[in-house]
């Protein structure tokens, strides 16, 4: 059912939260737009400006790797300055009181960690863009190091000591999903009684399968997203309002 107005939306979400024992938030790019990080699919979002570089193209060409890093450094203007928004802070409040035990996120911006949720309770389905790894040996690299090397080489992406390619620690289109994160998300969705999808268009698979699975396993499903999603019909509550406005009242002060 679609909440008719913001007040009703907040009341109904509050009631669902009160009735639930295990709340599982599932977040997408929309929770971070108020932090200054554009999403992919809103009008003017990243998708409408530049198509992402698929994994096979990154692996196949030095020019593509150079371009991937050029874009990442341009995006640093957004990522480096972002602070958790009201949505992140509300979820961190629910985490502190034990209502939320873990968060599944499609986001790569590290803002759930910064909001105070422990790393081991954050399931990152699409990785994390605030550091890099070698795709061959998995060695970790900090972005400042990559940037120094990139600039010193006149805009060429550096290689790892093992000669593998260094890439942000994110999952690109066409790249295998992280097995541990997928298994953990699978388990969590089977054992929650309220699943809240927040700021996701729910079109990126396999991530979009989790709300479906939670519902099939008997959890209630709430969707907070200002645009309609394909899953709205099966949801117990649909809230098409701004995430900060909806979740702000759940921040514990
Ligand atoms: P998406 O861009 O496909 O969808 C975001 C949704 O959030 C849209 O439907 C939009 O209407 C809604 N939205 C945006 N701001 C909102 C607000 N303030 N209040 C309510 N709704 C709002 O994002 P997705 O479903 O997460 O999929 C995109 C993929 O892109 C993800 O896999 C993610 O890894 C990646 N991505 C991540 C970030 C990030 O880490 N912050 C940013 C852009 C893209």
Q: Is the CB of 227 under 6 A from ligand 1?
A: yes
Band of residue 116 on the pLDDT scale cut at 50, 70, 90: very high
Per-residue pLDDT at 195: 98
Residue of 3, 30, 47 to test ligand 1 pocket, by largest number of atoms within 8 Å of CB? 30
Average pLDDT, the chain: 96
Q: Is the CB of 204 under 6 A from ligand 1?
A: yes
Per-residue pLDDT at 87: 98
Per-residue pLDDT at 14: 98
> What is the pLDDT averaged over residues 141-167?
98
Q: What percent of the chain has pLDDT over 90?
A: 91
Which own/partner contact pairs does 154-162 have at CB distance under 8 Å and 24+ positions apart?
155/66, 155/70, 156/62, 156/66, 157/62, 157/65, 157/66, 157/68, 157/69, 160/134, 160/136, 162/134, 162/136, 162/137
Does the structure show a pLDDT above 90 at 120? Answer: yes
pLDDT per position as a tens digit, 53-75: 999 999 999 999 999 999 999 98
> What is the pLDDT averaged over residues 80-86?
96
Q: Is the CB of 225 under 6 A from ligand 1?
A: yes
Does the structure show a pLDDT above 90 at 51? Answer: no
> What is the pLDDT averaged over residues 217-227?
97
Which is nearest to 88 in space by CA: 61, 109, 64? 109
Q: Is the CB of 124 under 6 A from ligand 1?
A: no
Does the structure show a pLDDT above 90 at 49? Answer: no
Residue nearest to atom 25 of ligand 1 (CA): 200
Does the structure show a pLDDT above 80 at 45? Answer: no
Q: Using alpha carbons only, give the angle 187, 119, 89 rounded to the nearest 5 degrees.
A: 100
pLDDT per position as a tens digit, 172-201: 999 999 999 999 999 999 999 999 999 999
Per-residue pLDDT at 1: 86
Per-residue pLDDT at 30: 97
Residue 253 annotated as catalytic = no
> What is the pLDDT averaged over residues 78-103?
97
Per-residue pLDDT at 44: 74
Domains of the chain and any CATH numbers: 1-35+84-125+178-253 (3.40.50.1220), 38-81+127-170 (3.30.1600.10)
């Amino acid at each position: 059912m679609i909440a008719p107005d913001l007040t009703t939306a907040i009341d109904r979400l509050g009631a669902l939260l009160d009735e639930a024992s295990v709340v599982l938030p599932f977040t997408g790019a929309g929770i971070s737009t108020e932090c200054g990080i554009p999403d992919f699919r809103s009008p003017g979002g990243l998708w409408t400006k530049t198509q992402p570089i698929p994994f096979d193209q990154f692996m196949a060409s030095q020019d593509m790797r150079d371009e991937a890093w050029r874009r990442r450094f341009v995006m640093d203007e957004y990522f480096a300055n972002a602070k958790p928004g009201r949505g992140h802070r509300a979820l961190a409040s629910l985490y502190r009181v034990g209502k939320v035990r873990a968060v599944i996120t499609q986001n790569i911006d590290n803002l759930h960690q910064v909001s105070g949720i422990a790393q081991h309770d954050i399931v990152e389905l699409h990785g994390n863009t605030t550091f890099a790894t070698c795709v061959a040996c998995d060695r970790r690299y900090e972005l400042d190091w990559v940037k120094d090397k990139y600039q010193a080489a006149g805009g060429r992406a550096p290689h790892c000591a093992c000669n593998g390619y260094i890439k942000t620690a994110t999952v690109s289109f066409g790249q295998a999903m992280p097995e541990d994160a997928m298994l953990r998300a699978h388990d969590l969705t089977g054992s929650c009684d309220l699943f809240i999808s927040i700021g996701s268009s729910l079109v990126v698979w396999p991530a979009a399968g989790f709300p479906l699975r939670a519902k099939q396993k008997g959890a209630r499903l709430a969707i907070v997203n200002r645009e309609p999603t394909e899953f709205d019909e099966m949801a117990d509550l649909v809230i098409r309002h701004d995430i900060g406005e909806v979740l702000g009242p759940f921040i514990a002060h």
